[in-house]
Amino acid sequence: MKTLRIRERRVPADALAGLRELHPVMGRIYAARGVGNPMDLRPDLAGLADVGGLRGIDRAAELLAEAVAGGRRILVVGDFDADGATSVALFLRAMRAMGAREPDYLVPNRFEFGYGLTAPIAEMAADRGADLLVTVDNGISSHAGVAAARARGLGVIVTDHHLPGESLPAADAIVNPNLPGDGFPSKALAGVGVIFYVLAAVRARLRDTGWFHPGRRPEPQLGSLLDLVALGTVADVVPLDRNNRVLVEQGLRRIRAGQGCPGIRALLQVAGRDPARAVAGDLGFAAGPRLNAAGRLEDMSVGIRCLLTDKPGEAEQLAAELDGLNRQRREIEQNMEQEALASLEQAMAGLQGEPPAALCMHDGHWHQGVVGIVASRLKERFHRPAVVFAPDGDGLLKGSGRSIPALHMRDALERVHSLNPGLILRFGGHAAAAGLTLASDGLDRFREALQAVVRDWVEPHELEGELLTDGPLAAGDLTMALAREIRAGGPWGQGFAEPCFDNLFHVQAARIVGERHLKLQLCHEQGGNPLEGIAFRAVDHGWTARMPERIPPATPKPSRAVYRLDINAWRGTERLQLVIEHLESV
């Protein structure tokens, strides 16, 4: 495993002073994440940013409310990932509850139509008899698709959260917190968060017109759909600012109370997670990947059906199908990752073992639905921006990039595009991730251009791996009580990282479990009872190849561990467990 720089998060004294009523460790954790007032930790819906703050939302709400009241056909076009699927399900559930006439959906098959609202998708929507077309989690770069829809007489509302390009599509209304000049305070909304706000505005407008009636057409409670907002937000790995934390926590509370939709419950159960104990990590690492697998390998319709059904038996059947697709996705991903690593090692032989500033990998038989995951794995392993390409079947290369904090991926692609006109055929995304399309003969030029941009924009030390920790824990703090406080203290995720700590331990025993993971028995340097530890995917990271050197049984020499304090629940029994993120000899 590559040596990492381990750095303790800075704890502002002024923020810490406002958190004195909390457990000292929890106060330290929150202060390091920019929280200085306990009120900012309250997940009340009343604390959400005002719905009217989104530019364009009044016009979008007006058009949708008129369509509902006028009985016009509304069709929603989603993206093929978990954010897109939850956005579509949320929209359809809310529209049906508001009395819309047979709202329908289209989700592009990525292998046939590519990303977003394309002209062929617009033609399909018109042929289905749609009057108003609404995009969720896409559309901000769909100039041709919007134009084609309007040419066929459809109204178009774009709701998206991706960064816009130099110009906007000619839609009837656009709602996106990242539009230039938009004053909405939460720029981190996922696509599902954006459409949730739009639906709240539609409900308010219909309420004002007297559309709802207690007996005939009751006003829907949109809060009951927050489980979908929570899943889409966490799965899309957007930063959990205060607004998103409220949305996610409220959704999790509904899931834990058994009030979520049967599909999310079934997705958690098929992954071996207890919905009654669900936390954000269960959505991000269990439910989300299974939902995403449909869009990566086939099309997202099975995932959307899973989220739309109200029949538990049907939900379980669809979740099992998604679980099978996810197993297939993992096998493809592992093979691609191994091949990419072998190719990279061969390329590094002439570079004194040092990876290039940016990784750019391709193979003619790789699966385009999995390139993003492999790019993420390479980025994590080598601490460099990574772009992985696969053929699309039409003589083009579809790529997916993942980036480190020091480089804004979409801005980097914009720079490559401006310096090399015509090289990148299409691209879009945001700071951490982006997608692009190249001609099949453009790969070498793109690789050289991207590496040049990274060398120009990123300092060498920013290409070194770094682990931020919340410092050490005393032996007396390694308790179930603190683990429970941390578990309940989230939701944790992107931009509001789950706490991890840094201590010296004596490793008393180590063994491989589940073929890929490393089970450890540890003792805190200060003494105390032995502790269980687990290092997930340790075999993949190469830890076990060096076990005789680094992790000998009962070694008297301590090892430095970066870990999370966790609770291992198994068959009704709970035990304290350290989830090891990094382990090195000292």
**Tell me, what's the pLDDT at 431?**
85
pLDDT band at 570 (very low <50, low <70, confident <90, very high): confident
Any idea how long the chain is? 586
The pLDDT of residue 549: 46
Q: b vs e for 413-439, b when ≥16 Cβ sit within 10 Å of the residue's Cβ? A: bbbbbeeeeeebeebbbbebbbbbbbe
User: Where residue 477 falls among pLDDT bands split at 50, 70, 90?
Assistant: very high
Task: Taking residues 564-578, report their average pLDDT.
Answer: 89
Class at the top of the CATH hierarchy for domain 469-585 = mainly beta
Tell me, what's the pLDDT at 430? 81
Fold of 54-324: inorganic pyrophosphatase (n-terminal core) (3.90.1640)
List pLDDT tens digits, range 369-383.
889 889 998 998 889
pLDDT in tens, 386-444: 999 999 878 899 999 999 989 999 999 999 999 999 999 988 888 888 999 999 999 99
- How far apart are the C-alpha atoms of 219 and 211, rounded to whole Å? 9
Q: How many other C-beta atoms can be found within 10 angstroms of the C-beta atom of residue 499?
A: 24
pLDDT tops 90 at residue 156: yes
Mean pLDDT of the chain: 91
Q: What is the distance between the alpha carbons of residues 149 and 156, in angstroms, rounded to a whole number?
A: 7
355-463 topology per CATH: Diaminopimelate Epimerase; Chain A, domain 1 (3.10.310)
Average pLDDT over residues 74-82: 92
What is the Cα–Cα distance from 508 to 532, expressed in whole angstroms? 10
C-alpha span between 295 and 90 (Å, rounded): 18
CA distance 454 to 446: 12
572 residue type, one letter: G
Instruction: Dig out the tokens for 230 from the structure.
Output: 């929570």
pLDDT range class, residue 1, cuts 50, 70, 90: very low
What is the arithmetic mean of pLDDT over 510-531? Answer: 88
Place of tokens 């009217």: 52
Q: Which contiguous run of DSSP H or E holds residue 248?
A: helix 242-256
pLDDT above 70 for 520:
yes
DSSP letter for each residue of 519-533? EEEEEETT--S-EEE
Please report how many Cα atoms fall inside a 13 Å half-sphere around the Cα of residue 372, on the Cβ side. 15
Question: 283-305: buried (b, 16+ CB within 10 Å) or exposed (e) per residue?
Answer: bbebbbbbbbbbbbbbbbbbbbb
Share of the chain above pLDDT 70, in %: 95
User: What is the C-alpha to C-alpha distance for residues 113 and 223, in angstroms, rounded to an integer?
Assistant: 34
Three-state SS sequence of 285-339: HHHHHHHHHHHHHCCCHHHHHHHHCCCHHHHHHHHHHHHHHHHHHHHHHHHHHHH
Domain definitions of the chain by residue range: 10-37, 54-324, 355-463, 469-585
Q: Among 233-242, 271-280, 331-340, whose mean pLDDT is lowest? A: 331-340
Taking the C-alpha atoms of residue 34 and residue 41, their distance in angstroms, rounded to an integer, is: 11
Strands 424-429 and 74-77, sheet pairing = unpaired
Measured CA angle at 451 (ends 165, 343), to 5 deg = 115
Contact 496, 245 (CB under 8 A): yes
CB atoms inside a 10 Å sphere around CB 173: 21
Per residue in 90-138, pLDDT (tens digit) is: 999 999 999 999 999 988 766 566 677 999 999 999 999 999 999 999 9
> What is the rounded CA–CA span in Å between residue 81 and residue 466?
29
Q: In this structure, what DSSP letter does residue 283 have?
A: I
Q: What is the 3-state secondary structure (H, E, C) of 35-72?
A: CCCHHHHCCCHHHCCCHHHCCCHHHHHHHHHHHHHCCC
Cα torsion 213, 217, 223, 224: sign = positive
Q: What are phi and psi of 77, to 5 degrees?
A: -115, 120
pLDDT at 325 over 90: yes
pLDDT higher than threshold 90 for residue 344? no
Confidence of residue 548 (pLDDT cuts 50, 70, 90): very low
Q: Is the pLDDT of residue 495 over 50?
A: yes
- In the β-sheet with 359-362, what is the strand arrangement from edge to edge? 359-362, 386-391, 396-402, 433-439, 424-429
Q: Percent of the chain scored above 90 by pLDDT?
A: 74
Confidence band, pLDDT 50/70/90 cuts, at residue 493:
very high
Residue 349 pLDDT grade (very low, low, confident, very high; cuts 50, 70, 90): low
Handedness of CA 233, 234, 238, 242 (dihedral sign): positive
Q: What is the mean pLDDT of residues 200-207?
A: 98
Helix spans in 349-497 (H): 371-382, 409-419, 443-457, 480-488
201: burial class by Cβ within 10 Å (0-12, 13-18, 19+)? buried
Residue 480's contacts (CB-CB under 8 Å, 6 or more residues apart) are 567, 574, 576
User: What's the one-letter identity of residue 147?
Assistant: A
Which residue shows structure tokens 């001609």?
439
